[in-house]
Structure 1
Amino acid sequence: MPAGLPRPNMGVLNLQGGEKKFKLSRHAASEALSFFVKHYWIVSWDCTDEDPYLQHVVPNPCVNLVVEPHKTFIFGPSTRKFSYPIHGKGIVFGVKFKPGGFFPFLNQPISTLLDHPLEVQSILDLDGSGLEEAILSMPTEEDMVATMNKLLEPKLPPLDEQALSVNRIIDYIASEREISKVDQICEHFDIHIRKLQRLFDQYVGISPKWVIRLYRLQNAAETMDGRLPVDLARLATDLGYHDQPHFIKDFKAVVGSTPEEYRRWVQES
């Protein structure tokens, strides 16, 4: 990324404020894994003797393998905001699979993972505690990345062209901020809505409508995270909302606050 440009938040709300409390780094997976894995992410913190800090995340349509002491699981996508308490000292390692990238490992609809985390031994040769020992005991982030590459590479499934198609669709949704309706996706990719819905149930785990909504609300939050003056009515229009009350309702349902409340929180942090 060119110098001077902010990193994409990727759903981490008020990342600039949060990084006063923790360090977030992202690392590329090996070339062999790049078809399936978007990136590795590592969050570390030392807030000893400080008040707990609650970090909020709007989910991406991705499966995450999360390595954390006594909480190591594979988590499917969600339509709800996730809040994580930062306190004491700790570190978490994550594998973010590309949208559709975990289905070839699972071979059953990703929607089955909603609210049902999966044990890591379902795809690896060790259980959660063994993976925690293998990854979190490493002295550097680079060592953690190298270890995870070595664990995942022998388990690679065949490449899946449908997963690639799903990735193209979601990349389009993420990059085209004016996309607000499923019909726009069907028209652009010349795909019937029923087929699109089946693909998303199988490969993504949440519906195309929800994927669009999550990305538009991430776009809204990221715009406000810039701490520059924002015309919320214009922002709603730019993101494809035909009226501001609908935008406010969606934003509050997923983020947990109104856009005005969120903007005020960002400015005060």
Structure 2
Amino acid sequence: MVDFARGVLYPRDQSAIAELDRRTPSPDLARFVEFYWHVRWRAEKPYEAKVLAYPSVHLVFEEPVPLVYGVQRSLFVRRLEGRGQVLGVKFRPGCFRPFAAGPVSDLADRRVPATDVFPRRVEDVGRAVLRDTDLDAMVAAAEEFLLGCLPEPDPVADEVAAMVEAMTADPALFRVDQAAGTLHVSARTLQRLFADYVGASPKWVLRRARLQEAASRADQGARVDWADLADDLGYFDQSHLIRDFTAALGVPPARYAGLNS
């Protein structure tokens, strides 16, 4: 399983304001849900939490109503003020499709009321979850709700989840045609499946994995040889990595690393 905090930017700054925790799903839900995540914060002044998100859909129990977040292809920014908490359900990439009424790409870069997807009682569950202070009890309430509205298993969703895992775990995969060959499907089939099940293109998934790795290296505090990292991640050269990183995060990698030192 991936590091659930991977993709969280400026982790040192955020850890001074917010506590992150996680719980694993029950066996009955593990086919659909990767994990539950919980953030509790106390911010004396407004703070913008920033995340390079995974290709996953999330159900988030938050105020004033629960929301479903599609894949966030740009930098995700959440403003934290005062005190608060949210409980999120991170679905395995591709595995929200059985819950959805249409292609998951319809949710890309959007957040919609959870009642657009789930039964209306999701709002009552959300209020009960956020009234609690015990994380295990919060997760138990979310689990009970999800178990009551499980769709039929979709074998294709499982296949797509495995594809995303293979693509993001193998640093030798840089291009869509490479990934398609490794997965024994055509590039067109891969693109069609990702539009329907993932909500982001195969090219975006590969690029996001590389950017997360670059940010993770910078977060470690040690000096980074950006030319070597660019080569490791399959970039044409260092300047290509710098352009890609800057476009996604808003600052060049060396400056981002300095802000985390």
| Aligned-partner residue type, residue 37 of structure 2 | W
Alignment of 1:1-269 (within 5 A): 9-47=5-43, 50-126=44-120, 129-267=123-261
Aligned partners of 1:218, 1:97: CA distance in 2, in Å?
A: 19
Partner secondary structure for residue 78 of structure 2 = strand
Question: Is the 8 Å Cα contact of residues 135 and 148 (structure 1) preserved in structure 2?
Answer: yes
Aligned partners of 2:145, 2:121: CA distance in 1, in Å?
A: 12
1:47-70: per-residue Cα shift (whole Å, max 9, x none)? 2xx232221100110001111112
Question: Is the 8 Å Cα contact of residues 33 and 91 (structure 2) preserved in structure 1?
Answer: yes
Question: Is the 8 Å Cα contact of residues 75 and 118 (structure 1) preserved in structure 2?
Answer: yes
Structure-2-length-normalised TM-score: 0.94
| Aligned-partner residue type, residue 32 of structure 1 | D
Aligned partners of 1:186, 1:210: CA distance in 2, in Å?
A: 14
Question: Is the 8 Å Cα contact of residues 236 and 247 (structure 1) preserved in structure 2?
Answer: yes
Partner secondary structure for residue 31 of structure 1 = coil
Q: How far did residue 121 of structure 1 move? A: 2.0
Cα distance change, pair 18–139 in 1 and its aligned pair in 2 (3 A): closer
Partner secondary structure for residue 207 of structure 2 = helix
Aligned partners of 1:117, 1:28: CA distance in 2, in Å?
A: 24
Question: Is the 8 Å Cα contact of residues 124 and 152 (structure 1) preserved in structure 2?
Answer: no
Q: Which deviates more, 204-213 or 134-143?
A: 134-143
Question: Is the 8 Å Cα contact of residues 125 and 142 (structure 2) preserved in structure 1?
Answer: no
Question: Is the 8 Å Cα contact of residues 68 and 91 (structure 1) preserved in structure 2?
Answer: yes
Q: Which deviates more, 13-22 or 34-43?
A: 13-22
Q: Which runs of 5+ in 2 are unaligned?
A: none
Cα distance change, pair 124–71 in 1 and its aligned pair in 2 (3 A): closer
Q: How far did residue 71 of structure 1 move? A: 4.9
The percent of aligned pairs where both chains have the same amino acid is 36
| Aligned-partner residue type, residue 62 of structure 1 | S
Question: Is the 8 Å Cα contact of residues 124 and 151 (structure 1) preserved in structure 2?
Answer: no
Cα RMSD (Å) of the superposition?
A: 1.8
Structure-1-length-normalised TM-score: 0.92
